[in-house]
Amino acid sequence: MTALKIGVVEDELVIARTILNTLEELGYAHCGPAINYTEAIDLIETEKPDLLLLDIQLAGRKDGFDVAGKLNESYKLPFIFLTANSDIETIDRAKSVKPHAYIVKPFTKEELYAAIEIAFNNFTNTSAEVKPARSSAGQHRNFMFVKDGYVFRKIFFEELLYLESEANYVLLHLSSQKKIVVRSTINDFIELLDPAVFVRVHRRFSVNINLIEDIFPTEISVQGIKVPIGKSHREELLRVVGI
């Protein structure tokens, strides 16, 4: 499983180094630190973290609330306020921008781990509940758009070899050998596809049956790539392909 990538926005560099070291001890990938609003937005756009640890007090005119407002407006990204401020006024302001967690410094490694895991899990589960409707017009299209970072990529179904589940992400394997990572569960994503073309062959894999080359007892070949067949899915696969 790919480690979560945590972005750090903190203008006190000594504290930032402590946070980065703690993230490393916990097994997370990390990027930053950004020390102000401009650097924070640049970090989000270039590094594409999965979650942001965000201090409220930042260098410059704009603070962590401004960063949070921009996240809510333009980016689908969970964030945690990691701050020394715990007064009523600050917490009331924080509630208005809806952070996914709020940690008061100083914090323990265990507190940071718990906040990150719960915040990210709640964020991905909430996102999964909002499922795009499959329109009647969309059923006749031969392509779809998926979000790749902050760009929507056009993918033709004929170039989509198979889907691979990776926790709360789906890897789209294309005939060009390119992979696109989509934040979704495989169950939710395959609902957007034609069930007559994309068939679940394993708890972690769904394949484009038009591109299957060979079917072996425990795996199939798609453009020379071997994909496993789960025992509970084999009968349905053979039925769909007419065997």
The string of pLDDT tens digits covering residues 166-197 is 877 889 999 998 888 887 888 888 888 888 89
Give the Cα separation of 164 and 148 in Å (integer).
16
Boundary of a domain, candidates 97, 129, 161: 129
CA dihedral 104→105→109→114, nearest 10 degrees, is 10
CATH of the domain at 224: 2.40.50.1020
Tokens 């170039």 belong to residue = 159
pLDDT in tens, 121-162: 778 765 444 344 444 444 457 888 787 665 677 889 999 999
Boundary of a domain, candidates 111, 129, 147: 129
Query: Is the Cα torsion angle 153, 116, 204, 195 positive or negative in sign?
Result: negative
Residues 117 and 163 in one domain: no
Give the Cα separation of 68 and 78 in Å (integer).
10
Grade residue 44 by pLDDT with cuts at 50, 70 and 90. very high
Against a cut of 0.85, is the pTM above it?
no
Residues 10 and 110 in one domain: yes
Residues 76 and 162 in one domain: no
The pLDDT > 70 percentage for the chain reads 91
Count of the separate structural domains present in the chain: 2
Report the side by side order of strands in the sheet with 219-222. Answer: 212-215, 219-222, 225-228
| Nearest residue to 3 (alpha-carbon basis) of 54, 50, 52 | 50
Residues 178 and 110 in one domain: no
Boundary of a domain, candidates 80, 96, 129: 129
Evaluate if residue 100 carries a pLDDT over 70.
Answer: yes
Question: Strand, coil or helix: what is 58?
Answer: coil
